[in-house]
A and B are shown apart, each in its own frame.
Chain A
Amino acid sequence: MVSNEAPVLDVSNLKKHFSIGKGIFHKSNEKVYAVDGVSFSIPKGQTLGLVGESGCGKSTLARAVIRLVEPTSGEVRIMGRNILELSKSEMRDCRRQAQIIFQDPFSSLNPRMTAGDIVAEPLIVHNIGSRIQRLERVAELFDLVGLRAAQLSSLPHQFSGGQRQRIGIARALALGPQLIIGDEPVSALDVSIQAQVINLMMDLQEKKQLSYLFIAHDLAVVEHISHRVAVMYLGRIVEHSDKNSLFSRPQHPYTEALLSAVPVPNPKLKRHRRLVQGDVPSPINPPAGCHFHTRCPYLTEQCRVDVPPLIEVEQGHWVACHLRSPKLN
Chain B
Amino acid sequence: MEKLINEFSNHIHVSNLAEAAVLEVENLKTYFFVKQGVVKAVDDFSFSLKSGDKLAIVGESGCGKSMTALSVLRLVPNPPGRIVSGSIKLDGKDLLQMSESEMRNIRGNRISMIFQEPMTSLNPVLSIAQQIGEALILHQKLSDKDAFDRSVELLKLVKIPEPLRRAREYPHQLSGGMRQRVMTAMALACNPQVLLADEPTTALDVTIQAQILDLIMELQDRLGTAVVLITHDLGVVAETSERVIVMYGGKKVEEANVNDIFAMPLHPYTQGLLAAVPKLTTLSGKESYSKRLQEIPGIVPALVNLPDACTFAPRCAFATDICRHEYPPYTNISSSHKVACWHVAKVC
Contacts and interface: CB of A to CB of B under 8 A. Distances in A.
Interface of A: 53-54, 160, 162-163, 190-196, 198-199, 202, 217-221, 223-225, 243-244, 247-248, 250, 257-269, 271, 273, 275-277, 279-280
B304 interface: no
Contacts of A276: 207
Contacts of B276: 191-192, 194-195
Contacts of B213: 263
A280 B262 CA distance: 33
Contacts of A259: 280, 282
Contact of B208 (A192, A218, A266, A279): A279
B235 interface: yes
Given A54-B205, A221-B278, A265 B285 contact: no
Contacts of B207: 53, 257-258, 261, 275-276
Interface string B177-216: 1100000000000000000000000000111111101100
Interface string B235-272: 11111100000000000000000110011000000001
Contact of A223 (B234, B258, B281): B281
B293 A198 contact: yes
12 contacts: A53-B205, A53-B207, A160-B299, A163-B299, A202-B290, A202-B292, A223-B281, A244-B287, A258-B207, A276-B207, A279-B177, A280-B205
Nearest to B291: A224
B296 interface: yes
Nearest to B296: A192
Contacts of B233: 263
B62 to A, nearest CB: 9
A224 B278 contact: yes
Contacts of B288: 223-224, 243-244, 247-248
Contacts of B26: none
Instruction: List 4 A-B pairs, minimum CB-CB distance, nearest first.
Output: A263-B235, A192-B296, A224-B278, A261-B210
By secondary structure, the B interface counts as helix
Given A202-B292, A266-B238, 4 more contacts: A190-B300, A199-B292, A225-B290, A275-B214
B220 to A, nearest CB: 17
B175 interface: yes
A267 B239 contact: yes
B205 A265 contact: no
Contacts of B205: 53-54, 217, 280
Contacts, number: 142
A67 B281 CA distance: 35
A141 to B, nearest CB: 20
Interface residues of B, number: 51
A192 B273 contact: yes
B117 interface: no
Contacts of B348: none
B20 to A, nearest CB: 27
Interface in B110-168: none
Contacts of B262: 265-268
A212 to B, nearest CB: 13
A220 B283 CA distance: 12
B279 interface: yes
A225 B210 CA distance: 24
Contacts of B206: 53, 217, 219, 258, 261-262
Nearest to A56: B205
Nearest to A259: B282
Contacts of B211: 275, 277
Contacts of B175: 279
B295 A262 contact: no
A195 B296 contact: yes
A267 B232 contact: no
Contacts of A190: 60-61, 232, 300
Given A259-B280, A267-B262, A248 B287 contact: yes
Contacts of A220: 277-280
A182 B233 CA distance: 22
A196 B211 CA distance: 31
B294 interface: yes
A196 B210 contact: no
Contact of A265 (B61, B235, B293): B235
Contacts of B299: 160, 162-163, 193
Nearest to B208: A279
Contact of A191 (B60, B214, B280, B290): B60
Given A275-B211, A279-B175, A265 B295 contact: no
A271 B281 contact: no
B280 A247 contact: yes
Contacts of B236: 263
B274 interface: yes
Contacts of A271: 283
B234 A269 contact: no
A78 B237 CA distance: 43
A262 B290 contact: no
A275 B274 CA distance: 26
B35 to A, nearest CB: 16
A247 B286 CA distance: 10
A258 B207 CA distance: 6
Nearest to A270: B239
B296 A264 contact: no
